């Protein structure tokens, strides 16, 4: 444990010196609830950056799985996915020309922008 865990320490967010709550020996790194929120936000941001690729892959994989199961169904079934952004690509043509998988991948890439 730090030599001065019960004394003043600098806030990890705003760098102001503060006196940590004695009930949280050595654990408190921020001076106020606002800084605590900011610290949490930054940690989440870092975590998201690190895990972004994982989630993207996971999301795409699941989407593919789901749609391959429905491959026998009409291509209009994947149309609701384009609702967020205006469809730039003629998804039905891509699906018929290249198959459902490339169509989903293209749609996915287009929607990311």
Site for Zn ion, residues 40 to 99, rule: CB under 5 A: none
8 A C-beta contact, residue 30 and residue 36: yes
Q: How far apart are CA 41 and CA 39, in angstroms?
A: 5
Q: How far apart are CA 108 and CA 63, in angstroms?
A: 9
**Min dist. Cβ of residue 7 to Zn ion (A):** 16
Query: Helices 33-69 & 100-112, crossing angle to 10 degrees?
Result: 160
**Min dist. Cβ of residue 95 to Zn ion (A):** 53
Q: How far apart are CA 79 and CA 73, in angstroms?
A: 12
**Min dist. Cβ of residue 58 to Zn ion (A):** 35
Interface residue with Zn ion, options 7, 8, 14, 77 (CB under 5 A): 14
Q: Please tell me the count of residues contacting Zn ion according to CB under 5 A.
A: 5
Query: Which stretch, 2-10, 35-43, 59-67, 94-102, contacts Zn ion (CB under 5 A)?
Result: 35-43
Q: Does 31 bind Zn ion (CB under 5 A)?
A: yes
Residue 9: strand pairing partners: 18
Interface residue with Zn ion, options 9, 28, 35, 103 (CB under 5 A): 35
From first CA to last CA, the distance across the chain in angstroms is 47
Interaction site with Zn ion (CB under 5 A): 11, 13-14, 31, 35
């Amino acid at each position: 444990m730090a030599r001065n865990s019960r004394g003043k320490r600098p806030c990890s967010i705003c760098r102001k010196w503060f006196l940590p709550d004695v009930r949280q020996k050595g654990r408190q790194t921020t001076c106020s609830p606002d800084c605590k929120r900011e610290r949490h936000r930054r940690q989440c941001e870092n975590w998201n950056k690190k895990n972004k690729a994982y989630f993207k892959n996971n999301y795409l994989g699941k989407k593919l799985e789901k749609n391959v199961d429905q491959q026998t169904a009409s291509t209009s079934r994947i149309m609701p996915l384009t609702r967020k952004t205006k469809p730039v690509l003629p998804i039905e043509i891509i699906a018929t020309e290249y198959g459902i998988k490339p169509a989903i991948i293209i749609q996915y890439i287009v929607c990311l922008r």
